[in-house]
Amino acid sequence: MDLHRRPPQTTTGAVATNPHSHRLKSRSPLPSPKASDALPLPLYLTNTIFFTLFFAVAYYLLHRWRDKIRSSTPLHVVNFTELAAIVSLIASFIYLLGFFGIDFVQSFATRASHDGWDLDDTVITTTTTTTTNQPLRKLTSPEPSLCSEEDNSIVNSVVEGTIPSYSLESQLGDCFRAAAIRREALQRTSGRSLEGLPLEGFDYEAILGQCCEMPVGYIQIPVGVAGPLLLDGFEYTVPMATTEGCLVASTNRGCKAIYVSGGAESVVLRDAMSRAPVVRFSTAKRASQLKFFLEDPLNSDTLAVVFNRSSRFARLLGIQCAMAGKNLYMRFTCSTGDAMGMNMVSKGVQNVLDFLRNDFPDMDVIGISGNYCSDKKPAAVNWIEGRGKSVVCEAIIKEDVVKKVLKTKVAALVELNMLKNLAGSAVAGTLGGFNAHASNIVSAIFIATGQDPAQNVESSHCITMMEAVNDGRDLHISVTMPSIEVGTVGGGTQLASQSACLNMLGVKGASKEEPGSNSRLLATIVAGAVLAGELSLMSAIASGQLVKSHMKYNRSCKDVTKISS
């Protein structure tokens, strides 16, 4: 696992043009030619013809050349049959190169099919009035136009409702084309332009059936890096996707303070995803019988076997029950390997519910989730029992670092933490919010690494503690986060950009050596970054620099020399 720091890689997103400012009349884009398009026959027949042709003419030419060598006839003297055989050999050879994926053949065929045609056939007709002295905008990629009659017909069908918008991908077999058609239909029905929402440059097949339905574009979110974060003896450069100025810079300062103080340490206390179905019986007594059955240690092995059938990584850890009258809430917790695990635990719960019907046929399953889980909502059960990864991260910040890097004093930080994060949050009646801005860092890392952003709600539960140590000279700071819900496989983690950010941290994909270790490491990195963010923001508040910092980093400035200073 490579944990060295790497320079960030940046990508330039596409900038869309106004689809109503001009019309492009050109031939519809042709699909990229394939080797199998050589004959209008089924693929297996085309392959058979060219394979047979190649070996037949090769055999024929070898025999002819052998006879010429024996009779001392020059090889360049050929008759019509030999010339046809040579042409056939070359043609079949080119087909075979394309069949086996030789890039230059495909690219040459593509250029030959399109170059010199698309530009000549394009006619631009201006439909809007332009004014003089209007600045030209720099366009990185124009918005694709739907110029074929077939595309326009499909757009009209979507607008009229005869073709459902959600079915375009399955009907067309082209995700990008479906997104472009849906986008144009949306613009026509709403009467509003989607200029500024990019479409080009995104792999729409990557999200099909996985991340997002009915796409019409994608949002550009800047990704910055903070670090190196020295955590448990390793350095990590932390990717943060955010539109908030000062956040990355502040977290970076916290990472520096932790680094020069010797680094931070972390501990994963618990790793358990939860799902809590709600069932109903005719009486509370009957519901209690199921509760006692589930909590009986003698039944735990049987229930675990049934639950664990859902996945080779799912392992049932426990069942906690709560009653409300004749309604029973069963909170299943299980380990889920390197996946965040919501789907995995839901499948296991369904297996157990089906099994329980044998002994409790009168059980009425109201819902696979009864909010006792609890997912994407602030809940005391997650704050107390934990959900996902429960992590504690701590560091001791030296006195001189507090003064020189953080520009404040240890006593000021301890006092501010007590009055703001602890007492102030208690006065506000917060739930799991005994911190300065843990949600800021959690959200930024979640978006960058392909996590579910909505799970920021419970994942940001955090209590920040500060205490003067070593005779009051140094600062001990810790963050306790009981429900960090992250994974390194599945969902948005498989998209190219998010996968690159996971790779930057050395936690991409599933761990083959120790299943679950990558997702646990990611959770500790999140906690470590929160520790850095808490340290820096609290220092800015204690020193009275918060407003000044935001005026510097959170306001537009075109002079890069002033920004860097």
> Is the bond preceding residue 239 a cis peptide, omega within 30 degrees?
no
The reply to whether 244 belongs to the active site is yes
Q: Specify whether 410 is located in the same domain as 498.
A: yes
Both tokens assigned to 185 = 């239909």
Q: Specify whether 69 is located in the same domain as 195.
A: no
Backbone phi and psi for residue 391, each to the nearest 5 degrees, phi listed first: -130, 140
Give the other-Cβ count within 10 Å of 333's Cβ. 21
pLDDT at 13 over 50: no
- Three-state SS for 358? coil
Structure-model confidence comparison of residues 431 and 208, the more confident one: 431
Q: What is the mean pLDDT of residues 447-476?
A: 97
The angle subtended at Cα 176 by Cα 171 and Cα 182, nearest 5°, is 65
Q: Specify whether 260 is located in the same domain as 285.
A: no
- CATH code at 245? 3.90.770.10
Q: Specify whether 197 is located in the same domain as 256.
A: no
Q: Which domain does 322 fall in, by range?
A: 277-367
Catalytic one of 114, 347, 550, 552:
550
- Three-state SS for 276? coil
Please, which pLDDT band fits residue 436 given cuts at 50, 70 and 90?
Answer: very high
Does a structural domain hold residue 381?
no
Does a structural domain hold residue 144?
no
Alpha-carbon gap, residue 500 to 10, rounded angstroms? 11
- CATH code at 325? 3.30.70.420
Question: Which of the residue ranges 31-45, 120-134, 451-465 has the most confident prediction, judged by mean pLDDT?
Answer: 451-465
Q: What is the mean pLDDT of residues 106-129?
A: 38
Q: Are strands 223-231 and 234-241 parallel, antiparallel or unpaired?
A: antiparallel
Does a structural domain hold residue 28?
no
Catalytic one of 271, 338, 452, 485:
452
Residue carrying the six token digits 């069963």: 330
Three-state secondary structure string covering 449-491 = HCCCHHHHHHHCCEEEEEEEECCCCEEEEEEEEEEECCCCECH
Does a structural domain hold residue 282?
yes
* pLDDT reported for residue 556: 57
* pLDDT reported for residue 549: 64
The reply to whether 22 belongs to the active site is no
Does a structural domain hold residue 122?
no
Does a structural domain hold residue 406?
yes
Q: Specify whether 404 is located in the same domain as 287.
A: no
Q: Specify whether 400 is located in the same domain as 428.
A: yes
Does a structural domain hold residue 264?
yes
The reply to whether 376 belongs to the active site is yes
Q: Specify whether 488 is located in the same domain as 545.
A: yes
Q: What is the mean pLDDT of residues 267-272?
A: 97
Whether pTM exceeds 0.75: no
CA distances, 510 to each of 97, 366, 448, 496, 561 (Å): 35, 34, 18, 16, 43
Catalytic one of 68, 114, 291, 376:
376
Alpha-carbon gap, residue 476 to 151, rounded angstroms? 64
Tens of pLDDT, residue by residue over 321-334, are: 999 999 999 999 99
User: From its phi and psi, is residue 471 left (phi > 0), alpha (psi between -120 and 50) or beta?
Assistant: left
The reply to whether 452 belongs to the active site is yes
Q: 268: closest CA among 527, 535, 551, 7?
A: 527
Q: Specify whether 50 is located in the same domain as 194.
A: no
**What's the total number of domains in the chain?**
4
Q: Specify whether 237 is located in the same domain as 299.
A: no
Does a structural domain hold residue 31?
no
Q: Specify whether 340 is located in the same domain as 193.
A: no
Catalytic one of 244, 295, 394, 399:
244
Q: Specify whether 446 is located in the same domain as 500.
A: yes
Please, which pLDDT band fits residue 557 given cuts at 50, 70 and 90?
Answer: low
Q: Specify whether 346 is located in the same domain as 236.
A: no
